Structure 1
Amino acid sequence: MVHQGDEMMAWADLHTHSAASDGQYSPSDLVRKAQTAGVEVLALTDHDTLSGTEEALCAGKACGIRVVRGIELGASEHRYMHILGLGMSDGGKALPALCDRLQRSRNERKYRMITFLHEKGIDLSLEDVERLAGGRVVARPHFAQVMVQQGYVSCVREAFDRYLDTEEYQKIERFKASAEVCIQAIRADGGKAVLAHPYQLEWDTEKLDRALKTLKTAGLDGLECWYPRHTRQMTEEFLALARKYELFVSAGSDFHGERIKPDIRLQPWNVNVDWLD
């Protein structure tokens, strides 16, 4: 990490997942892989849980990497609107309470998912999916991986494209809080709220501009401008919107592991990290 003018610049990856939610690697293995990839500041942003945080923090101290407490929350306004929480303090109450409700909904959803897949001719055993999840909350990638193992699809992406990320699937989706509720919980626990991978919303610049104006009013702090699937033009547009609404610029790979997202690797970007303090 180096100072550049008044800014603290570092090679950071602020959007990653571990086996505490739907990633491939344990939090400590993820941190070690990040060190090998040249990451200096790593945020663990598992879906709807902070359970891997302490393990990652300990591994970060051992490796000499700064690990940031993080989380990723799906918002109810759009199936691809995700809010990252970064830099929460230890001992917060708002996010654990929200996560408890979200995880109960995830646990209820797994029964609807197994029924949905059976109706599609995918004869999975819920026990096999739960065994793969290793006692953690069952998520869609766990179903997808078992579908690959049993030969129903050739890869995790195919499982999502054909079954687990379709309009029909949305009818059985779980409870999601509004973006404003997600932002409020993150900020109540001392974190910064960031809109993740805005390209997934598939909105034109004007529509995204209006949404960011609303989210900024709700307390949004940052925008994930640097992301593996953002084109150069997208990145430039997102950076311009971040400047317009005085949002912090975030960067993340959304790494889950090669088995889950084979085309996504841990990727450090040289960004200002002062705002995470």
Structure 2
Amino acid sequence: MIDYRKKFDLHMHTTASDGDYPPATLVKKAAELGLQIIAITDHDTLDGITEAQRIGCEAGVEVIAGVELSSKYEGKTIDILGYQLAKIDDLNQTLSRMRRSRENRAQVIVEEFNAIGMSITMDDVLEFSQGGVIARPHIAKAIVKKGYISDYQTVFDEYLADGKPCAIDKTIITPVEAIALIHDAGGKAVLAHPVYLQDDEFVERLLRFPFDGIEVWHRSHKPEDVIRYKGIAQKYKLMMTGGSDFHNDAHNLGSFGYTAEGNK
């Protein structure tokens, strides 16, 4: 999937889910940075892929059809990246059901904020989702705009993280189910940003499921993390991927700890 000699970024989000830039704009930004291979990996949707691939053809950037699915295992959220998706009709139907569930979840979260005195509406949230998948970042932005909390990260840390007052679980699928959805669509399943799991023994237990790869490089992975995950990838004979997990300009597109010279 990856020509490691080329400049790539295989983890990025657009306004089709919770990113700040439309697919076309994001591809153009990638081209301006000299990226040659990118993957659009929006949460639970493929809606940005067609536009991104069209602009990619014009800009000379290869755009891989991707997605990021969330699953649960042993009480932890396991994010799984799907790449090179081909047979997408059935996957789209499943993702559509998941999106409807997410919209219902968003309404419940809005009601929870109202119950603790932070009055917002779904219209306030829709201003930020711009017709894409409604996600927690859109709700956080609405809370900040209303002036209840001064910054976006605090909304997450104090109200939306697991176990916090306004946290509501989304539709739950298992890692095996998520991997099967990706494989059924002809794709490759990759464990995303393993450092967030904070437990390498747990990561290795997960990799006994039929994963095809692991995200070795990520903007949150320190050099020592990269070394560990490269070792784990080699141990389980897994593909190694990397990406910035780009959502907005606070994340450096194309910058996630990989250089061709330093990873031979």
With normalisation by structure 2, the TM-score equals: 0.91
Q: Give yes or no for contact 1:22–1:46 (8 Å, CA) kept in 2.
A: yes
1:206 is matched with 201
Q: Give yes or no for contact 2:161–2:167 (8 Å, CA) kept in 1.
A: no
1:96 is matched with 92
2:235 is matched with 244
3-state secondary structure, aligned to 2:52: helix
Q: Which amino acid aligns with 1:196?
A: A
1:232 is matched with 223
How many residues are matched?
A: 256
Deviations along 1:105-150, one digit per CA (max 9) or x if unpaired, are 1011122111111123211122111132222231111111111212
Range moving further from structure 2, 45-54 or 35-44:
35-44
1:18-57 mapped onto 2 (5 Å cutoff): 18-57=14-53
**Would the alpha carbon gap of residues 171 and 144 (structure 1) be closer, same or farther in structure 2, given more than 3 Å must change?**
closer
Q: Which amino acid aligns with 2:96?
A: D
Shift of 1:8: 5.6
Deviations along 1:146-187, one digit per CA (max 9) or x if unpaired, are 112121222221111111114135862111211111111111
Q: Give yes or no for contact 1:48–1:73 (8 Å, CA) kept in 2.
A: yes
Structure 2 residue runs of 5 or longer lacking an equivalent are: none
3-state secondary structure, aligned to 1:183: helix
3-state secondary structure, aligned to 1:42: strand
3-state secondary structure, aligned to 2:6: strand
**Root mean square deviation, CA, Å:** 1.8
**In 1, Cα distance between equivalents of 2:166 and 2:121:** 21
Q: Which amino acid aligns with 2:35?
A: V
**In 2, Cα distance between equivalents of 1:239 and 1:135:** 38
Query: More relative contact order in 1 or in 2 (CA 8 Å, sep 6+)?
Result: 1
**Would the alpha carbon gap of residues 8 and 255 (structure 1) be closer, same or farther in structure 2, given more than 3 Å must change?**
closer
- Correspondent of 1:13 among 4, 9, 28: 9
Deviations along 1:29-80, one digit per CA (max 9) or x if unpaired, are 0001111222110000000000000000001011100000000000121543
Shift of 1:201: 0.8
Structure 1 residue runs of 5 or longer lacking an equivalent are: 272-277
Residues 1:85 and 2:82 aligned together: yes
- Correspondent of 1:132 among 128, 133, 139: 128
**In 2, Cα distance between equivalents of 1:100 and 1:183:** 17
Q: Which amino acid aligns with 1:42?
A: I
Range moving further from structure 2, 163-172 or 76-85:
163-172
Range moving further from structure 2, 243-252 or 33-42:
33-42
Q: Give yes or no for contact 1:160–1:166 (8 Å, CA) kept in 2.
A: no
**In 2, Cα distance between equivalents of 1:169 and 1:86:** 35
Instruction: Calculate percent identity across the aligned residue pairs.
Output: 35
Q: Which amino acid aligns with 2:201?
A: E
- Correspondent of 2:252 among 265, 268, 272: 265
2:149 is matched with 153
Q: Give yes or no for contact 2:16–2:131 (8 Å, CA) kept in 1.
A: no
Q: Give yes or no for contact 1:84–1:196 (8 Å, CA) kept in 2.
A: yes
Q: Which amino acid aligns with 1:209?
A: E
**Would the alpha carbon gap of residues 136 and 8 (structure 1) be closer, same or farther in structure 2, given more than 3 Å must change?**
closer
**Would the alpha carbon gap of residues 169 and 245 (structure 1) be closer, same or farther in structure 2, given more than 3 Å must change?**
farther
**In 1, Cα distance between equivalents of 2:165 and 2:252:** 28
3-state secondary structure, aligned to 1:47: coil
**In 2, Cα distance between equivalents of 1:206 and 1:131:** 41
**Would the alpha carbon gap of residues 30 and 115 (structure 1) be closer, same or farther in structure 2, given more than 3 Å must change?**
same
